[in-house]
Amino acid sequence: MRQSKILQGVLIAGGLALSGAVFAATPSSEMLANTCAGCHGTHGNSQGPATPTITGISKDYFIDAMQAYQNDEGNPTVMNRIAKGYTEEEIQAMADFFSSQKFVAHKQEFNVNTAKRGYILHNKSCEKCHEDGGRSKEDDAGILAGQWSPYVRWSLQDYMSGKREAPKKMKKKLDEVVEQVGQEKAIERLVNYYASQAD
């Protein structure tokens, strides 16, 4: 297996002297995941606020996200460069690791009234795919409840401006909420709602 450049870089930067024999071995999924910890936190629960927590998401979601980054999709700031350093097998191994870690919802401030208005939008337009108030790990759509608010806000802005391509049916629903209350209000309400779901 091709060892990743990033893994090697991190190990060298960390001053670890590893023999060629170790490099030739398949790195364990936890060892691979350690190279992500600087930004995504130990085991994937990020200290935020612009870096998403990546624990508990489904394997499919994880793999799709990494492949999209490898193809320069999704308007990433850093992940396109990072994702390109990994093979399919390594991504698979990391998907196993992160999806098996417990998602820690981040308690953040939110405005109760704005969150209530967000609930109305979410329930009508988003709940179908982001089930259980955005908590569900089963729908391969990421976890929104208790995800870092700046990251959620930024993702919604990217989708709504077309910088990140939303799945077709989701795009329709985003258009629907924007039509109802305008882009800015829709984003604030939804962001407050997902922050209110951190339990």
Binding site for ligand HEC (CB under 6 A): 35-36, 38-40, 50-52, 54, 62, 65-66, 76-79, 82, 94, 125-126, 128-130, 140-142, 144, 152, 155-156, 166-167, 169-170, 173-174, 177, 190
Query: Rounded to whole angstroms, how far apart are CA atoms 152 and 191?
Result: 6
Closer CB to ligand HEC, 4 or 21, in the complex = 4
Query: Rounded to whole angstroms, how far apart are CA atoms 131 and 141?
Result: 9
Least separation, in Å, of the C-beta of 23 and ligand HEC? 17
Closer CB to ligand HEC, 16 or 21, in the complex = 16
Least separation, in Å, of the C-beta of 15 and ligand HEC? 18
Least separation, in Å, of the C-beta of 54 and ligand HEC? 5
Contacts of 54 (CB under 8 A, 6+ apart): 36, 40, 44, 46, 62, 98
Closer CB to ligand HEC, 18 or 151, in the complex = 151
Least separation, in Å, of the C-beta of 67 and ligand HEC? 10
Least Cα distance to 189 among 132, 116, 123 occurs for 116
Least separation, in Å, of the C-beta of 130 and ligand HEC? 5
Closer CB to ligand HEC, 111 or 150, in the complex = 150
Q: Please, are residues 94 and 86 in contact by the beta-carbon 8 Å criterion?
A: yes
Token code pair at residue 168 = 């077709």
Closer CB to ligand HEC, 76 or 111, in the complex = 76
Token code pair at residue 15 = 């001053």
CB neighbours (10 Å) of residue 175? 13
Give residue for tokens 């209000």: 185
